[in-house]
Structure 1
Amino acid sequence: MEMVLQQQPTYEVGAKKWLITITVITCAIMELIDTSIVNVATRQIAGNLGATIEETAWVITAYAISNIIIIPLTGFLSNIFGRKVYFTASVVLFTTASFLCGFSGSIYTLIFWRFVQGIGGGALLATAQTILVETFPPEEIDKANGIFGAGIVMGPTLGPVLGGYLTDNFSWGWIFYVNVPIGIIATFLSWKYIKGLKGEKTGKIDYLGVLFLIMGIGGLQMVLEEGERKDWFTNNFILYTTILSGLGLIAFVIRELKAKNPVVDLRILKNRNVIVGCMLNLAFGIAIYCSVFLYPVFVQSFLGWNATRTGLLILPSSFLTGMLMGLNATLIKKGVNPKFLVLLGFSAVILYEVITYFLATPASGEFDWFWPQMIRGFGFGFIFVPVAGLTLSGLKGRAIGQASGLSNMLRLLGGAIGIAVVNTFVTRRFAIHRNDLISNVTQYSPEANERFFGLVKGFQGQGKSLGEAQEMATRAIEGAVSYQSAVVSYAEGFLLIAIVCACILPIVFLARFKKGGAVDVSSAH
């Protein structure tokens, strides 16, 4: 009779525990920072490499595509290679690609290495909290979840701030070089201290599943990243990519449901809580990435703030999020219903978006924006850990990694979908508002005439001829109309996020939670 011995989990103590914690969380934050650090440097990159802005946009798109492809595969790849080997190799890949990004002499080389960087980075994000679960005992996991969750919120926020500072004071290459020393240290620490769990035999590799995943998810991400720039389905590239992506997703679902050893086990979606958790993660991604997208654009475009000022205002709310995440984990372990916490968190986020809709005017200042940002931080602090608890409670073994991979992928996908939708919405609403406002600027409008002739008189007083003054007055009025239309459109963008979150929120009531029983948040990765 063959006896199978099950290895009992062991947890780290002392300095080793915190070295592992700092290493994996730093790697996760570094990966998240790189999702947005390039956004503020596209013009400098384009000018230095002789590329167009449209070509430079692929530097952002390539990273996003490889990120979202690799994340659902990380559980599968960790099982093959072992978590220690896979994580350390991913750090090396991310660090090497970061250096080669900064060293790139052409836009096409930079795009290639950004794609490679995203492959390494996606693995860091998806496996970081899994390693923390193996490092901390259950009674202390709330500390790790709180710090990790704060990193999820702070990473995308810090990207533009750090990118703007490095680009303004050094050169665009340093937004990539800054990863190198951190990556070298992280490589050493991860190889030395992370547990060397061996890989598993997974049977025949599902190559078709990988191919269909790349076609489906990769194509969808490309459409979302490039759609607005190419005017969506009027462009043949977007149209054909959408068709290819749709076919890939259908083939992927069919393949993974039939495959003996699926690369992504979609059967996990039979669990109601996993479906609910994935939908809530999608909404969470929409909320966090869209708010990070709209807030900096508004305050920098209409209030004249620089990147540093923009980022500093949001930091206190990010710290509040981290503190509340630790509190959330403690409350859940004591039996507090995580559905209540999720409702509280999303309600605060909706309140933030509604307040910001009314707040978003050119007359607002830092004090006006500070407290809404704190409400935002409060809300995000009550979402990440409870949603993870609901999603992963009751799962065991490989099912935890599969559910975690899907959740992480959908959070990033939610961000991509949200930004694409909000960006298109703002553009369309701008056109509508501009048409509405410009229709009132006619020779039959006393207010418009008074404004026009007042400007003409002012420009003539500066020494301009009548013709020049009239032309300048016309441009000034058109500029004022466009400015006001843009302000209103961006304000409505905040309101749209609130509406989306409010529509998805009732899904939380479909989750199952045993009253009086604590959700095991130690599995929340």
Structure 2
Amino acid sequence: MAVNKFTRVIIVITTISAAIMELIDTSIVNVALNNISGNLGATLEDTSWVVTAYAIANVIVIPMTGFLSRYFGRKNYYLTSIIIFTLASYMCGSSSSLWMLVFWRFIQGVGGGALLSVSQGILFDAFDPSEKGKASGMFGMGIVIGPTIGPILGGYIVDNYAWPLIFDINIPFGIVACLLTWKFIDKKENEYNIDRKSIPIDYIGVLSLSAGIGALQYILEKGQSDDWFEDSTIRIMTAIAVAGLAAFIWWELKTKTPIINLRVLKSRNLIGSNVLTFVCGFGLFGSVYLFPLMVQRVMGYTPTESGLSMIPGALVTIMVMPFIGASLGKGVSPMFFVVTGFGLFILHGYTSAQATPDADKWWFMYTQIFRGVGTACLTVPLLSQAVVGLKPQDMPYGISLNNMFRQIGGAFGIAIMNTYSTQRFAVHRSDLVSNLQGNNPLMNERVAGVAQGLISKGVNPIAANAHGAWSNLDYAITRQAQMLAYLDGFLLVSVFFVCTIPFMLLLKIEKMDAETRARVAAEAH
């Protein structure tokens, strides 16, 4: 689709903003759960459904965007999704009860599902074949910046304003995106005379996918808080996930009109890109989940301070991604960037695991830069290589699957980091406590010193010796155990990337020939 420079700029702003807006909402709520819980009079465990409902809806809709775009027309589906997302954002901010908020978060996730895959296809269509690398770099910025900005923006809003603003802030952006989409994004040629009667709906595929992916997302979101397989609901959801996904794969390979054409996975490049995209999602979301917890719980950062500490990673990503996209367009091998990205992520996890409770913001800046550049090096080439070798009519399915694997990778990353850090905290606390011996002169000297310090501040001597000093020691042990647990989590990120290095061999680096690139530009998504 040939577009003039002004229209292209508008399309870039619209699609990337929509993608960032969707991704921000996957993480912005995390820092506001305590405030929402207190304001709506709900337990923190129940309030976590605000996150879970959005994630479940999102991960169900994303793989179906290819079919929905074809059935309703890409522009119609995209515009409607933005309207649903914006309206649901308003209703979330206006919610007067927890379960009302959870319901509208689910609807918001349904609308947000199109804002990744469809945005990517529209953006790619606005560029010539020779500029696909540049388009990948631009869209990749949105994918990485969104999860990073979420905690920053959420922390600032929670510290300075009321929690409904984290939803209301979407409204003006959504309205502008609607107007720009309606005015500047054209329908594709085959959208003008869509005969929906000729496009059968794969109801079995929709139901089995919704059950399987929805149950899997529930397990990952609620597993740690519900004690995993000790909980009957988790066991039931596991059975539903296994049965639903098995039925989905069997049916989609059997039916002639699948909602998701799994036959596109015959492409070795798509398989390789999806696996590595899963790994990238695991590392990005897992690291972004661990860092704020560590600096807030152990080092005393406010939500705003923890968010600001992540800015270096976001800034370096903004600077690096266009360079990577341009380099790919000039013929630099994607494998060079993939290897570099793996190396930087391994370095990020390892250096983060060397932190101490006294580490300052400057020390963390380097680890965030490693993560930012590493994510950029993985995201851009994987975006462009995922669709290489696919027929134009198969590209929507390839893009949808690629985005689904990123989201699921992120869900696995958060779930595993949450579980692992909790288990390691228990281990480290037990180890530290076991080393406390009543006849240890150093321990007795420290307890006596703390007691004297409390007495000098006016605390009753009996209370200072009997409770205050030992409470202080317990706090120090808890803080140290938490720190060690989070450091173990960062090290696990490095180990995960090291163990998945062989999967890079699945990525068969290919280049689009001129004819294929032209067809992709004209017809993709």
TM-score interval for Structure 1 and Structure 2 normalised by the shorter chain: over 0.9
| Alignment size in residue pairs | 515
**Aligned partners of 1:102 and 1:173 also within 8 Å:** yes
Corresponding residue number in structure 2 for 1:405: 400
- 1:494 and 1:96 mapped to 2: Cα distance? 38
One of 201, 225, 237 as aligned partner of 1:205: 201
1:366 equivalent to 2:357? Answer: no
Corresponding residue number in structure 2 for 1:323: 319
Corresponding residue number in structure 1 for 2:439: 444
Corresponding residue number in structure 2 for 1:300: 296
**Aligned partners of 1:71 and 1:126 also within 8 Å:** yes
Corresponding residue number in structure 2 for 1:6: none
Corresponding residue number in structure 2 for 1:252: 248
Corresponding residue number in structure 1 for 2:67: 76
Bigger CA drift: 310-319 or 236-245? 310-319
- 2:308 and 2:131 mapped to 1: Cα distance? 30
Residue 18 of structure 1 deviates from its aligned partner by 0.9
Residue 313 of structure 1 deviates from its aligned partner by 3.3
User: Aligned AA for 2:372?
Assistant: G
**Aligned partners of 1:91 and 1:187 also within 8 Å:** yes
**Aligned partners of 2:20 and 2:143 also within 8 Å:** yes
Could you tell me which runs of 5 or more consecutive residues in structure 1 were left unpaired when the two chains were aligned: 1-9
User: Aligned AA for 1:452?
Assistant: V
Corresponding residue number in structure 1 for 2:421: 426
User: Aligned AA for 1:406?
Assistant: L
User: Aligned AA for 1:149?
Assistant: G
Residue 515 of structure 1 deviates from its aligned partner by 8.5
Residue 514 of structure 1 deviates from its aligned partner by 4.7
- 2:14 and 2:36 mapped to 1: Cα distance? 30
Bigger CA drift: 443-452 or 47-56? 443-452
- 1:338 and 1:69 mapped to 2: Cα distance? 30
Corresponding residue number in structure 2 for 1:312: 308
- 2:429 and 2:363 mapped to 1: Cα distance? 27
Residue 429 of structure 1 deviates from its aligned partner by 0.6
* Alignment of structure 1 residues 506-525 onto 2, 5 Å: 506-514=502-510
Bigger CA drift: 80-89 or 38-47? 38-47
Residue 326 of structure 1 deviates from its aligned partner by 2.1
Residue 329 of structure 1 deviates from its aligned partner by 2.5
1:17 equivalent to 2:8? Answer: yes
**Aligned partners of 1:82 and 1:200 also within 8 Å:** no
One of 245, 258, 263 as aligned partner of 1:262: 258
1:73-106 Cα distance to aligned partner (Å, 9 max, x none): 0001000111110000000000000001111111
User: Aligned AA for 1:326?
Assistant: P
* Alignment of structure 1 residues 25-174 onto 2, 5 Å: 25-174=16-165
1:481 equivalent to 2:441? Answer: no
- 1:314 and 1:455 mapped to 2: Cα distance? 35
1:239-281 Cα distance to aligned partner (Å, 9 max, x none): 1111111111111111111111111111111221111111101
Residue 367 of structure 1 deviates from its aligned partner by 1.2
Corresponding residue number in structure 2 for 1:346: 342
- 1:515 and 1:394 mapped to 2: Cα distance? 8
User: Aligned AA for 1:233?
Assistant: F
**Aligned partners of 1:333 and 1:520 also within 8 Å:** no
Bigger CA drift: 391-400 or 71-80? 391-400
**Aligned partners of 1:278 and 1:407 also within 8 Å:** yes
- 2:310 and 2:35 mapped to 1: Cα distance? 25
User: Aligned AA for 2:299?
Assistant: L
**Aligned partners of 1:62 and 1:115 also within 8 Å:** yes
- 1:111 and 1:463 mapped to 2: Cα distance? 46
1:414 equivalent to 2:405? Answer: no
Change (3 A) 1:258 1:112: same
1:280 equivalent to 2:271? Answer: no
1:471 equivalent to 2:462? Answer: no
Change (3 A) 1:362 1:200: farther
- 1:481 and 1:494 mapped to 2: Cα distance? 20
- 2:353 and 2:517 mapped to 1: Cα distance? 38
Calculate the TM-score normalised by the size of structure 1.
0.94
**2:386 counterpart SS class:** helix
**1:285 counterpart SS class:** helix
1:222-247 Cα distance to aligned partner (Å, 9 max, x none): 11001111111111111111111111
1:341-367 Cα distance to aligned partner (Å, 9 max, x none): 101111111111111111x21111111
1:190-216 Cα distance to aligned partner (Å, 9 max, x none): 011111120465632110100001110
Could you tell me which runs of 5 or more consecutive residues in structure 2 were left unpaired when the two chains were aligned: none
Bigger CA drift: 39-48 or 303-312? 303-312
**Aligned partners of 2:345 and 2:374 also within 8 Å:** yes
- 2:517 and 2:361 mapped to 1: Cα distance? 40
Corresponding residue number in structure 2 for 1:380: 375
**2:296 counterpart SS class:** helix
Change (3 A) 1:451 1:177: same
The share of aligned pairs that are identical, in percent, is 43
- 1:22 and 1:196 mapped to 2: Cα distance? 18
1:356 equivalent to 2:352? Answer: yes
1:162-183 Cα distance to aligned partner (Å, 9 max, x none): 1222233331111111111111
**What RMSD in Å do the two structures reach over aligned CA positions?**
2.0
Bigger CA drift: 439-448 or 455-464? 455-464
- 1:246 and 1:119 mapped to 2: Cα distance? 23
**Aligned partners of 2:267 and 2:389 also within 8 Å:** no
Bigger CA drift: 143-152 or 204-213? 143-152
Corresponding residue number in structure 2 for 1:218: 214
**2:224 counterpart SS class:** coil
**2:310 counterpart SS class:** helix
1:493 equivalent to 2:484? Answer: no
**1:156 counterpart SS class:** helix
User: Aligned AA for 2:86?
Assistant: T
Corresponding residue number in structure 2 for 1:435: 430
Bigger CA drift: 382-391 or 76-85? 382-391
**Aligned partners of 1:265 and 1:402 also within 8 Å:** yes
- 2:182 and 2:438 mapped to 1: Cα distance? 74
User: Aligned AA for 2:247?
Assistant: A
Bigger CA drift: 84-93 or 312-321? 312-321
- 1:179 and 1:435 mapped to 2: Cα distance? 45
**Aligned partners of 1:280 and 1:505 also within 8 Å:** no
Residue 119 of structure 1 deviates from its aligned partner by 0.6
Residue 520 of structure 1 deviates from its aligned partner by 5.7
**1:136 counterpart SS class:** coil
